[in-house]
Amino acid sequence: MFITFEGGEGAGKSTQIQRLAARILQNFPDSAPLITREPGDGPLGPQLRSIVLDKKDGVVIPERAELLIMLADRAQHVECIIRPALKSGRIVLCDRYADSSVAYQGYARQLDPVEIARLNTFATGGLVPDHTFLLDIDPAVGLTRQAVKTSMEREPTAFHNRVRDGFLRLSIQEPDRFTVIDASQDPDQIAGVIWGMVKGWIG
């Protein structure tokens, strides 16, 4: 089972992934999930993540270059981390995946979302998540939760509003794959909603 978590900055994706993994392990001890993320995991992940998110002042990365870096990270991640885990029968919980490129580089950077979706298919070899939880939050709220900001998080509010709009558009296009959750709710309540769905799939 391949489950992804998407959403804007400060939506609580990492927190909910950790909570879900703990509940899976507690209730299904033989189903220890793999927790992974994009960008950042895989053989080239740390270097590629640093290029995009920790870039030094004055370094300019054009929109297309940023997209291609993300796609290179994803291609490595899928081949070296995600596919082997799925093949071995593990549950994979991924913090960001292909939808993030469509939202960030497509809708927010204003590149062609359709073309990015096509490139995502090439980079992933067609691997689509079984389900995606979209933690939706007002960027004005989410950004206040970030103590340390990456270059992406330092983008103007209008950029993050476009990211949010992009994710919501994707959820409308694929309602069977997406579950949209109000991420301004109490984290325990959010975790309960997620677990209520996932435990049924595992069972």
Q: Please tell me the pTM assigned to this model.
A: 0.92
Class of domain 2-202: alpha beta
Per-residue tokens: 193: 């909603």
**Distances, alpha carbon 120 to alpha carbons 21, 106, 144, in Å:** 26, 12, 31
Q: Contact at 8 Å (CB) between 54 and 39?
A: no
Residue-level pLDDT at 159: 94
- The tens place of each residue's pLDDT in the chain, 203 residues long, gives 999 999 998 899 999 999 999 999 999 998 899 999 998 887 777 888 787 777 666 678 899 999 999 999 999 999 999 999 999 999 999 999 999 999 999 999 999 999 999 999 999 999 999 999 999 999 988 888 876 677 777 788 999 999 999 999 999 999 999 999 999 999 999 999 999 999 999 87
Residue-level pLDDT at 180: 98
Residue-level pLDDT at 94: 98
Sequence ranges of the domains in the chain: 2-202
